[in-house]
Chain A
């Protein structure tokens, strides 16, 4: 738990500030979740004074959580109030620790994925991924399944090279509040303000620079932070919400001259109980069950891992398919979602005849598939007329998935089924047909893309350095900057980009000093 006693030094409850206070700093970071805390930690000792604003306090509470409420107008995703945590550490307070980086192909431009192609390469991010591995307390930045199988003495399924073997690593999971909160609270150059909400991003007369964050508490205290640089690290929905709601000077909000903020919202469609399978009991799925890896943390605990199957990048490219990773559900685990979307008229007992052919037992399995979706401008966050207790407009989240995505994903599943069938390993059941898909898409709680990165301001909000195209001293951190989402859980990539942004801020500081 977060040690309030130890953390008292530089942590200020914003409700105790005098009305109208102005706080000065070199850098103001809004949001003390994985992204915001990572940036603040990296700026320690940089000579930059930092103010870190957090909407909540040390622990989650209903009043603050209610600020996140919004309306779902598209695919019904989990409610935002439950998904987001407004407290120190943000959503790391309840994440499950799944870590995999975005993959090399996820950064590339693909003709079959509209609006794809990041303005940087995978290799550019690798140093920051390595650092993020340490921050999230996982093993090395090493993702070669052959090597991991050798190191752990586990066996990979003998599939051909159309399948790419992958694995997840699991963070303990790192709870940022308890792990890093005390470090920040003791730091002399970071001030953490709790219960502080940004309600307006105020621009200077040129409209090209932020002049200050106007902040408010639920008790009615209003104050202002004035800094040289500003970072929004409020989460995938709130980053867009604050920009859209900051319309006191511009009707369209801030950094939204091309009406891009809030658009291209992406999730990771999760397909939990749709893909069934049967396989011989003797099939060794040890690599694909969550278990210990060969890596150990400094405290001696083992980093856990879980094997997965995807398609090789070349196959995805050739077949014009989105990325996905499939894991086998552990035997005996309760389904986490409601009943199957497809009535199972052909019982596994029938299908088992095909794989065992009377020789030995069989087991049924379910695959959980985590999939990529194409970015689309109509999948978006907008503001409603309803306001929260701070007077901020609530969001309407219209999450959409292109119909072509469903067809692509089904084709991908059939390719996987064919490969597993050819090797006599598993027979898969894939719902739907070539034109109609009946999978139910569940969200992953991964809110991506609504302030996406790119070179062209007409289809992106931030540049390669996470700086907004339109406002020179405003940066955004978090999954909202993802150009495309791949299929990997976003936290490792979010933290990697936070490290990278902190480095940018330090570099800019050095540059300013050297040029006087």
Chain B
């Protein structure tokens, strides 16, 4: 059995989630006795391939082509399809990045195969791998198994495995694979990358964060949370829906599309704890959740929780904090 791990890089910089996927693959390989082939694609990826070769993998493939310098779904699909056809892996593992979401289902479908996306766990049971993913915004988990013929495609959520636990000690010499790509096969034209003008707030440096979610209900209620943030000496932040509504600027968004933070104290107020938010804050040292729904997934990651009406609890908490100073 063979597992192909598709890593991700941009302009020579790793997407660190690549190594989390490598850890997932190594775990699956230990259970099944599979061998691992790691692959990196781009215009010039020789040094990255060498870095991969230091890890405990059987084989490292470097796909180099001028048309892979900038990511396009057509370019990456066509290149990896050729590599998969040649390497004949049973499983293909990806980090569940925005880029992977953009092309991996297409790649699988181009081979008539399916993909189990955004997995948070993996186990070996009754002779096959069981993939665990979340449903209903994290309120439930699902055990999913593959059907039909290999190859089988899976991607792993950021933070589901630890990249620093990927085993090193490999001795594979990277091998270059040639792929056939023509400019006319690539239908999208990638243009410049940019960041929105101001990134004035660096939430990653804040020791305390007070984050609000849908539970805050109205923008006129935000001062309640702001007062708490002020009293406790923290920065105000939010889950995506609050920023989508324009109630707080996008730069204060925590989660997969916003900032990833790990403060010493994170207060999640009226935040249900959808996966997209939790990946951005679950590394925090102490997490407090205040929510009216005792079954909200945010309580899964919280150290302390208060179940109740935030409009009563937040002012009470602000008052207690002021008193204790």
Do these two chains really belong together in a complex?
Answer: no
Q: Which residues of B are in contact with A by a Cβ distance under 8 Å?
A: none
